[in-house]
Amino acid sequence: MAFMNAKTLIKLCDKCYWNPLTQTVIEDNHILVLTSSMTKLLAILIDHYDKPVSSVDIFFHIWDDYEKEFNPKSVRNLISNLRKRIPCLIINNYYGGRYVLKKYRDNVPNITDYVLEILDQAKNGVTISDPNLPDNPIIFVNEAFSELFGYTSEEVIGRNGRFLHGEDRDQISLKEIQKALQEERDITVTLRNYTKEGELIFNELTISPIFDKKTEKLKYFLGVQKNVTAIQKLIQQIKRML
């Protein structure tokens, strides 16, 4: 790397560096050719290392035209192309269409085998459903979900999440969810759900699509359930007093 000042380089992964002065990627002592859009994308992700960047900010940073209509699919495609060009990059997707480039760290253990265990210890309910199977059935629920609604995982897996609505199907949020699922985008709504014993729970539900990193095809829907019953009851009491 005689042509570079090693002190200015940022290590992206093994034998791969980012030169912030020239905004280029050096891999095995050679400059890796990137498109202009990829370079802009990588620059903003590195500038926000380990911090989420919204797809909206990425979109207008790259295309630099606020008259152009925001299109999250354009960002997803660009992220996918960058991943293919530099496979060692760790770019995580987060709720609400946000992306995080994780800093490269030597000797970091692979936590893939512990993902389900980590989800099981989450405080909020978590579900994973498979839209590639008939009726988008739930294929995973964590312990917090079972504690919240009173159903065991065996009673839930294989069913569509609509069973939690019971007979209470006249909810505007249900139509909003259906539209979001069809459009493969994130959504957060508050639903009236019911436990196994029939108790009403106001459930703040966030659904996020999970895409295959290589094909960018929809793979799963991740759902996070938060019990906001106490908050909703307080709001109703205040409304009655006013």
Task: Please check whether residue 78 is in contact with residue 38, taking contact to mean a CB–CB distance below 8 angstroms.
Answer: yes
| CA atoms lying within 13 Å on the CB side of residue 12 | 28
For the chain, domain boundaries: 6-101, 115-241
pLDDT at 174 over 60: yes
Do the domains spanning 6-101 and 115-241 agree at the CATH topology level?
A: no
Q: 1: pLDDT confidence band, cut at 50, 70 and 90?
A: very low
Per CATH, the architecture of 6-101 is what? Orthogonal Bundle (1.10)
pLDDT at 116 over 90: no
Q: What is the pLDDT of residue 112?
A: 64
Q: Could you give the CA distance from residue 205 to residue 211 in angstroms, rounded to a whole number?
A: 19
Q: What pLDDT digit, counting tens, does each position of 190-241 carry?
A: 999 999 999 999 999 999 999 987 787 899 999 999 999 999 888 888 888 8
Q: How far is CA 173 from the centre of its chain?
A: 20
Q: Which residue has the tokens 């034998």?
A: 15
Q: What pLDDT digit, counting tens, does each position of 81-115 carry?
A: 999 999 888 888 876 678 889 888 766 666 666 78
Written out in words, the top-level CATH class of the domain with range 115-241 is: alpha beta
Q: What pLDDT digit, counting tens, does each position of 17-60 carry?
A: 999 999 999 988 899 999 999 999 999 999 999 888 999 999 98
Q: Could you give the CA distance from residue 84 to residue 73 in angstroms, rounded to a whole number?
A: 16
